[in-house]
Amino acid sequence: MPDETTENTNENEVEEETSLNENDISGSDFIRLLHIDSDNEDEIANALLYKAAAEEYLTGAGVAKDYSSALYKQLVILLTARALERPDGMSKFADIKESGFVAMTEQLRRTQKQVIIDAEQLGDTLQEG
Protein backbone atom coordinates (compact mmCIF):
# COMPACT_ATOMS: atom_id res chain seq x y z
CA MET A 1 0.00 0.00 0.00
CA PRO A 2 1.52 3.35 -1.05
CA ASP A 3 2.06 5.87 1.67
CA GLU A 4 0.23 9.19 1.73
CA THR A 5 3.33 11.15 0.68
CA THR A 6 3.69 9.13 -2.52
CA GLU A 7 0.02 9.58 -3.39
CA ASN A 8 0.20 13.35 -2.83
CA THR A 9 3.34 13.62 -4.95
CA ASN A 10 1.70 11.72 -7.82
CA GLU A 11 -1.44 13.88 -7.61
CA ASN A 12 0.70 17.05 -7.69
CA GLU A 13 2.63 15.83 -10.75
CA VAL A 14 -0.58 15.08 -12.64
CA GLU A 15 -2.10 18.41 -11.62
CA GLU A 16 1.05 20.28 -12.65
CA GLU A 17 1.27 18.57 -16.03
CA THR A 18 -2.36 19.23 -16.95
CA SER A 19 -2.51 22.80 -15.68
CA LEU A 20 -2.50 25.61 -18.20
CA ASN A 21 -0.77 28.93 -17.85
CA GLU A 22 -0.30 32.07 -19.91
CA ASN A 23 2.93 30.89 -21.55
CA ASP A 24 2.25 27.35 -22.70
CA ILE A 25 -0.02 24.35 -22.73
CA SER A 26 1.04 21.10 -21.11
CA GLY A 27 2.18 18.31 -23.39
CA SER A 28 -0.56 15.96 -22.23
CA ASP A 29 -3.30 18.54 -22.85
CA PHE A 30 -1.86 19.40 -26.25
CA ILE A 31 -1.77 15.75 -27.31
CA ARG A 32 -5.28 15.15 -25.94
CA LEU A 33 -6.75 18.18 -27.73
CA LEU A 34 -5.25 17.01 -31.02
CA HIS A 35 -6.44 13.42 -30.47
CA ILE A 36 -2.92 12.08 -31.02
CA ASP A 37 -1.99 8.59 -29.85
CA SER A 38 0.56 9.25 -27.10
CA ASP A 39 2.69 6.37 -28.41
CA ASN A 40 3.17 7.98 -31.83
CA GLU A 41 6.42 9.85 -31.23
CA ASP A 42 6.81 11.02 -34.84
CA GLU A 43 3.36 12.59 -34.91
CA ILE A 44 3.97 14.24 -31.51
CA ALA A 45 7.27 15.67 -32.76
CA ASN A 46 5.53 17.02 -35.88
CA ALA A 47 2.73 18.49 -33.77
CA LEU A 48 5.23 20.32 -31.54
CA LEU A 49 6.94 21.79 -34.60
CA TYR A 50 3.60 22.90 -36.04
CA LYS A 51 2.58 24.31 -32.64
CA ALA A 52 5.68 26.53 -32.61
CA ALA A 53 4.85 27.67 -36.16
CA ALA A 54 1.23 28.41 -35.14
CA GLU A 55 2.42 30.51 -32.18
CA GLU A 56 4.83 32.38 -34.45
CA TYR A 57 2.07 32.95 -37.01
CA LEU A 58 -0.26 34.37 -34.36
CA THR A 59 2.50 36.61 -33.00
CA GLY A 60 3.07 37.91 -36.52
CA ALA A 61 -0.66 38.54 -36.83
CA GLY A 62 -0.50 40.80 -33.77
CA VAL A 63 -1.78 38.32 -31.18
CA ALA A 64 0.12 37.96 -27.91
CA LYS A 65 0.90 34.43 -26.73
CA ASP A 66 -1.65 33.74 -24.00
CA TYR A 67 -2.63 30.17 -23.14
CA SER A 68 -4.98 31.42 -20.42
CA SER A 69 -7.27 32.43 -23.30
CA ALA A 70 -9.47 29.62 -24.58
CA LEU A 71 -9.60 31.33 -27.98
CA TYR A 72 -5.80 31.44 -28.23
CA LYS A 73 -5.58 27.72 -27.38
CA GLN A 74 -8.27 26.97 -29.97
CA LEU A 75 -6.40 28.88 -32.67
CA VAL A 76 -3.12 27.09 -31.95
CA ILE A 77 -4.88 23.72 -31.98
CA LEU A 78 -6.72 24.63 -35.20
CA LEU A 79 -3.52 25.61 -37.01
CA THR A 80 -1.60 22.62 -35.66
CA ALA A 81 -4.34 20.14 -36.58
CA ARG A 82 -4.55 21.63 -40.06
CA ALA A 83 -0.79 21.29 -40.56
CA LEU A 84 -0.85 17.70 -39.28
CA GLU A 85 -3.64 16.88 -41.71
CA ARG A 86 -2.10 18.72 -44.64
CA PRO A 87 1.63 19.34 -44.16
CA ASP A 88 1.81 20.81 -47.67
CA GLY A 89 -1.06 23.13 -46.77
CA MET A 90 0.56 26.35 -47.93
CA SER A 91 -1.04 25.85 -51.34
CA LYS A 92 -4.39 24.97 -49.76
CA PHE A 93 -4.85 27.77 -47.21
CA ALA A 94 -7.33 29.57 -49.49
CA ASP A 95 -10.26 28.12 -47.54
CA ILE A 96 -8.94 29.14 -44.11
CA LYS A 97 -11.15 32.24 -44.09
CA GLU A 98 -14.25 30.05 -44.27
CA SER A 99 -13.05 28.08 -41.24
CA GLY A 100 -13.53 31.14 -39.03
CA PHE A 101 -9.83 31.34 -38.26
CA VAL A 102 -9.37 34.87 -39.59
CA ALA A 103 -12.37 36.17 -37.63
CA MET A 104 -11.23 34.45 -34.42
CA THR A 105 -7.71 35.87 -34.82
CA GLU A 106 -9.08 39.38 -35.32
CA GLN A 107 -11.40 39.03 -32.33
CA LEU A 108 -8.53 37.90 -30.10
CA ARG A 109 -6.25 40.68 -31.35
CA ARG A 110 -8.94 43.31 -30.62
CA THR A 111 -9.62 41.88 -27.17
CA GLN A 112 -5.92 41.98 -26.29
CA LYS A 113 -5.61 45.55 -27.61
CA GLN A 114 -8.58 46.63 -25.49
CA VAL A 115 -6.96 45.19 -22.36
CA ILE A 116 -3.81 47.22 -23.09
CA ILE A 117 -5.85 50.41 -23.68
CA ASP A 118 -7.82 49.86 -20.46
CA ALA A 119 -4.59 49.34 -18.49
CA GLU A 120 -3.07 52.52 -19.96
CA GLN A 121 -6.19 54.52 -19.11
CA LEU A 122 -6.14 53.17 -15.58
CA GLY A 123 -2.48 54.18 -15.26
CA ASP A 124 -3.28 57.70 -16.50
CA THR A 125 -6.18 57.96 -14.06
CA LEU A 126 -4.00 56.86 -11.15
CA GLN A 127 -1.30 59.39 -12.10
CA GLU A 128 -3.86 62.21 -12.24
CA GLY A 129 -5.35 61.28 -8.87
The pLDDT tens digits for 61-80 are 888 999 999 999 999 999 89
Predicted pLDDT at 18: 39
Predicted pLDDT at 93: 57
For the cut 50, the answer to whether the pLDDT of residue 82 exceeds it is yes
Predicted pLDDT at 55: 93
The pLDDT tens digits for 86-128 are 877 655 555 665 666 777 888 888 888 877 776 777 776 777 6
Closest Cα partner for 113 from 66, 43, 76? 66
Total of domains in the chain = 1
pLDDT, greater one: 128 or 5: 128
What's the CA gap between 86 and 37, in Å, rounded?
A: 18
The pLDDT tens digits for 30-68 are 999 999 988 889 999 999 999 999 999 889 888 899 999
Q: Domain limits at 113?
A: 4-128
Q: What is the 3-state secondary structure (H, E, C) of 33-78?
A: HHCCCCCCHHHHHHHHHHHHHHHHHHHHCCCCCCCCCHHHHHHHHH
Predicted pLDDT at 88: 73
Predicted pLDDT at 9: 44
Helix, strand, coil fractions of the chain, as percent rounded to 5: 75, 0, 25
